[in-house]
A and B are shown apart, each in its own frame.
Chain A
Amino acid sequence: MKDQLDRVIDAARKGRMSRREFLGRTTAMGVSAGLAVALYGKVARADEAKKGGVIRAGIYGGESTNSLDPALAASPVPVITCSTWGEMLCDVTSDGGLNMRLAEEATSSPDAKVWTFKVRQGVEFHNGKTVTAEDIVATLKRHTDEKSQSGALGIVQGISDMKAEGDKVVLTLASANSDLPYLLADYHLAIQPGGGMDDPTAGIGAGPYKVESFEPGVRTVFTKHANYFDDTVGHADQVEILVINDNTARTAALQSGQVHMINRVDPKISELLKGTPSVTVKQTPGRGHFVFVMHCDTPPFDNNDMRMALKLAIKRGELVEKVLGGLGSAGNDFPINAAYPLFDETIPQREYDAAKAKEYYDKTGHDGSPIILRAAPGAFPGAVDAANLFAASAQAAGIPLQVKLEPDDGYWTNVWNVEPFCASYWGGRAVQDQMYTTAYLSTADWNDTKFKNKEFDELLIAARGELDEAKKKADYSRMANILRDEGGLILPMFNDFVEGVRDEIGGWYDDPNGELMNGRALSRCWLG
């Protein structure tokens, strides 16, 4: 029992075990509840954040083509960079609530068409200018301009009118949206002085850290923003992002202490890394998912029987085990999982069923010519392996599925959204509405399954303006079922965020919104 207790204490010391779990485990071993609480207080990291020091993160996913313009942020390094110097109107918390930042308060008209944001007073940008309602409106306006090429265009283009009224920002929407504050928490929408119209790449915002030096694809150094409005954020004096795209070098840098945290730990080595002293592997269920997309308007995928046959011919559990190394969960052919608010847990999990798949396949009357699935190594990590496993299980069900290997170069321009059946991936979105609107609405630019369903579209619009949560949940459940049974999406798995953190880092919490605590690990953690 002594050994067992030691292990539990060690786990708590390294932050691998929550307080509740610690108390449960120790009292189960016969430790009195009072003693357990005292013990936890002693071994676990002090909740008191420590100030000072330099925190370094080694991040996969940066290129020398990156810029500091938040509108253009797309890969992990720019996204995390943006979340470090930028401040949004609000953040989405790890449990799906709202954390008000530059806006103190968000209220909507009863029809969810007019939203009023009260601007937090006395907040300063890095250049000393005070954050005003005008800055916020200008920022949102810049993202509506197509010239800004903003990744948030889809979010802001639904805002038909933006007004600054004293310390309030009033946004009028073309159609009702009860989720607007969640959407405005998007990392692209970091508020910039004057909206960043003069120089969008200045990297000046109101976030906890200001950019000291920026070398694209190499390193960004930040120093503490002295006049930041919130004392509970921004503990280190300096934080650094080092771009380390190579898996081995990134892991080695973590082990040798050159960096304190890394993202994208290779599933193949996560078990090995867990055995390393002074390093903890954090596994956070997220919303990102790996998919195979079929165009619903192109033969043979225009026949729903064919789509069903393929959906039933994939071994989801096997893919999670072999491709994700168990670091993920099985998907159910719609892009929503339990990490989203208003998720319907009762929708039955689709499983591999060779007989049923064959039955559907025979119904299509397909001539037996090979069905081509295109995949490239970069479609998602392990995409080619996943496609081959899929082809094997489909062939076992009598479906002539064949994998065609494509080069990474040009995959997203020449194959994805062009060829009728290919491998792809999606990161998660803040709310269900945003995910569905981005890729499953008939008119969406990124409708990569060419899924056009009138009932689905109507439900999506209705749910968007719905303020009654129960009704909204019912709408989403219905939509999930439509997509699951009629859509062109084969979603075998959701991937976890797997990250490595050194033991001297305190203040870590799991956040399903994005990797490395939704990009906030550098500003919310401290050096212990």
Chain B
Amino acid sequence: MHPILKLVIQRLALGLLLLLAISAVIFLGVEALPGDTAQAILGQSATPQALANLREQMGLNDPALTRYFHWLGGVVTGDLGKSLTNGTDIATAIGQRLGNTLFLAGCAAVIAVPLALTLGLIAARYAGKWPDKLISAVTLTTISLPEFVAAYFVIYLLTQVFPIFQPVAMVFPGMGFWAKLNAVALPVIVLVMVVLAHMMRMTRAAILNVMQSAYIETAELKGVPPMQVIWRHAFPNAIAPIVQVVVLNLAYLVVGVVVVEVVFGYNALGQYLVDHVTKRDLPVVQAVGLVFAAVYIGLNIFADVVAIIANPRLRHPK
């Protein structure tokens, strides 16, 4: 078997194991919360009799271990149960919301990642000169703005001063691709502003680090143009740390953008989770927690594998 394939399989297996551990932690965390699901459903109006009936009906009197495996069994077969608050099927709701989350994150990433890398390369090429300073100043300014401030600024500028886009970014099934793109334009702009600086700075730092190496000096001495030195010789050796940061930002775009979702009324997973946490809708909280964990682990495995592929020493172990 090819060593890379073996490695990927190993990492995936490890990821699954980790996910299993996380599922146990999530379950335990939810168990540790005061009150139980029956109490959460009945709320203030709970009478002892009604509580007992509901607990019996939902199997809450079973030992925790039994319930954990019951839940896990459901998760594996795609049955996440029903929401306590409105009785909708959790898997369906998460499926739709996750789609929206990935769409928004994808749009932001497609713009932010190439832009950050390009700006990083330019900043490294002109390190210490005005393009470097300008790029750093602008991106550091945008990252320093809290997301909601950036969001309000963008709303003001692009819906009121220049009425180009709509402030409310909801997307619905049946909307065309371009209509969806138009709807998410503002949140995408905000997210790009937020994640740009981190990736750009890392690209710049990693490349400048490599630029100290002897082989770069050799390349320079034999007369290779500066941009080509960076592109051909420095960048491939700087990929590993850059990918790590890019992936961290991608994970953030998926699991951490609830503020942006709320401001633009975007119907994605973060808002869904927060609503259900407020109402103590525990099955939903468990399920979304697991989805977020899976995304995080998945992206990190991806980063690991890319880092290894990018490194000849790891790619061809002796």
A residues with a Cβ closer than 8 A to B are 58, 63-67, 69, 72, 146-147, 149, 153, 201, 213, 215-219, 242-246, 248-249, 252-253, 255-256, 258-259, 409, 413, 445
Assembled-state Cα–Cα distance A259/B170 (Å) = 13
Interface residue? B263 (CB, 8 A): yes
Q: What are 15 of the A-B contact pairs (CB < 8 Å)?
A: A63-B275, A64-B272, A65-B275, A65-B276, A201-B86, A216-B86, A242-B168, A242-B265, A243-B265, A252-B167, A255-B159, A256-B159, A259-B168, A409-B278, A413-B44
Which of chain B's residues has its CB closest to A218's CB?
A: B267
- Is A58 within 8 A of B170, CB to CB? no
Determine if B83 is an interface residue (Cβ-Cβ < 8 Å). yes
Q: Name the distance in Å between B266's Cβ and chain A's nearest Cβ.
A: 9
B87 in the interface, Cβ–Cβ < 8 Å? yes
Q: Give the distance in Å from the alpha carbon of A252 to the alpha carbon of B278 in the complex.
A: 27
CB pair B160 A255 closer than 8 Å: yes
Q: Which residues does chain B contribute within 8 Å of A245, judged by CB atoms?
A: 262, 265
Interface size on B, residues (CB 8 A): 36
What 4 A-B pairs are tightest by C-beta distance, nearest first? A67-B86, A65-B85, A252-B167, A218-B267
Question: A215: which of B152, B156, B172, B262 is its contact (CB, 8 Å)?
Answer: B172
For B171, give the chain A residue with the smallest CB separation.
A218
Q: Are A64 and B275 in contact (CB under 8 A)?
A: yes
A248 touches B155 (CB 8 A): yes
* A248 in contact with B152 (CB, 8 Å): yes
Question: How many angstroms from the CA of A67 to the CA of B85 in the assembled complex?
Answer: 8
Chain A contacts for B42, CB-based, 8 A: 149
Question: Does B163 touch A at the CB level, under 8 Å?
Answer: yes
Decide if B99 is an interface residue (CB 8 Å cutoff).
no
Residue B43 at the chain A interface, CB threshold 8 Å: yes
CA distance A244 to B263 in the complex (A): 8
Given contacts A249-B263, A258-B168, contact A149 B275 (CB under 8 A): no
Q: Which A residues lie within 8 Å of B152 (CB)? A: 248
Q: In the complex, what residues of B have CB within 8 A of residue A66's CB?
A: 85-86
CB distance from A419 to the nearest CB of B (A): 15
Known A146-B50, A219-B172, A253-B166; contact A65-B279, beta-carbon cutoff 8 A: yes
Residue on B nearest A65 in the bound complex, by CB: B85
Which residues of B does A touch, CB under 8 Å? 42-45, 47, 50, 83, 85-88, 93, 151-152, 155-156, 159-160, 163, 166-168, 170, 172, 262-265, 267, 271-272, 275-276, 278-279, 281
**Cβ contact of B263, chosen from A64, A201, A243, A246, cutoff 8 A:** A246
Q: Which residues of B contact A445 (CB under 8 A)?
A: 44-45
- Residues of chain B lying within 8 A (CB to CB) of residue A201: 86-87
**Could you count the A-B residue pairs with CB atoms below 8 Å apart for me: how many are there?**
97
- Please give 15 more A-B residue pairs, beta carbons under 8 A apart, in addition to A63-B279, A147-B50, A201-B87: A58-B168, A64-B267, A65-B83, A149-B42, A201-B86, A215-B267, A217-B272, A217-B275, A218-B265, A218-B267, A246-B265, A248-B152, A248-B263, A249-B167, A249-B264
Beta-carbon nearest neighbor of B174 in chain A: A213
Q: Which of A58, A65, A69, A252 contacts B160 (CB 8 A)?
A: A252
Q: Are B163 and A256 in contact (CB under 8 A)?
A: yes
Give the interface centre of A63, A249, A253 by most chain B CB atoms within 10 Å: A249
Q: Report A-chain residues with C-beta under 8 Å of the C-beta of B160.
A: 252, 255-256
Does A64 lie within 8 Å of B168, measured CB to CB? no
Name the distance in Å between A424's Cβ and chain B's nearest Cβ: 15
Once the chains are docked, how many angstroms separate the CA of A324 from the CA of B88? Answer: 38
Query: What's the nearest-Cβ distance from chain A to residue B37, in Å?
Result: 14
**Interfacial chain A residues near B45, Cβ < 8 Å:** 146, 149, 153, 445
Nearest A residue (CB) for B273:
A64
Give complex CA distance A334, B253 in Å. Answer: 50
Q: Contact: B87 with A67, CB < 8 Å?
A: yes
Query: Given A64-B275, A217-B271, A249–B265 Cβ distance below 8 Å?
Result: yes
- With a cutoff of 8 Å between Cβ atoms, the chain A residues found around residue B87 in the complex are 67, 201
B86 engages A218 (CB within 8 Å)? no
CB distance from A368 to the nearest CB of B (A): 35
A5–B193 alpha-carbon span in the complex (Å): 50
Give the Cβ gap from B49 to chain A, nearest Cβ, in Å. 10
Output the residue of B45, B88, B265 with the most chain A CB within 10 A. Answer: B265
Instruction: Determine the chain A residues whose CB is within 8 A of the CB of B264 once the complex forms.
Output: 246, 249
The residues of B that contact A244 with a CB separation of less than 8 Å are 168, 265
A286 to B48, CA, bound (A): 38
Q: Return chain B residues, CB-CB under 8 Å to A64.
A: 93, 267, 271-272, 275-276
Closest to B164 in A: A256
8 Å CB contact of B166 from A72, A153, A213, A258: A258
Known: A255-B160, A258-B168. A216 touches B263 (CB 8 A): no
Chain A residues lying within 8 Å of B155, measured Cβ to Cβ, are 248-249, 252
- Contact at A252–B85, with CB atoms within 8 Å? no
In angstroms, Cα B166 to Cα A67, docked, is: 27
Cβ–Cβ < 8 Å partners of A218 in chain B: 170, 172, 265, 267
Q: Separation in Å of the B118 CB from the closest CB of chain A? A: 32
Q: Is the CB of B267 within 8 A of A258?
A: no
Distance of A64 Cα from B281 Cα, bound (Å): 11
Q: How many angstroms between the C-alpha atoms of A256 and B163 in the bound complex?
A: 7
Residues of B with C-beta under 8 A to A246: 262-265
- Of A65, A216, A249, the residue contacting B168 (CB under 8 A) is A249
Complex Cα–Cα for A244 and B266 (A): 9
A245 to B267, CA, bound (A): 12
Known: A64-B272, A216-B86. A256 touches B167 (CB 8 A): yes
Tell whether, in the assembled complex, residue A63 and residue B167 are in contact, meaning their CB atoms are under 8 Å apart.
no
| Interface pair A242/B88, CB less than 8 Å apart | no
Cross-chain contact B156 with A252 (CB below 8 angstroms): yes
CA distance A250 to B257 in the complex (A): 19
Q: How far is the CA of A192 from the CA of B84 in the complex (A)?
A: 22
Q: How far is the CA of A243 from the CA of B169 in the complex (A)?
A: 11
Most B-side CB within 10 Å, residue of A66, A218, A259: A218
Query: Given contacts A64-B271, A149-B43, A249-B264, is CB(A219)–CB(B170) below 8 Å?
Result: yes
Q: State A245–B264 Cα separation when bound (angstroms).
A: 9
CB neighbours of B44 from chain A (8 A): 413, 445
A258 with B167, Cβ < 8 A, contacts A146-B45, A149-B45 known: yes
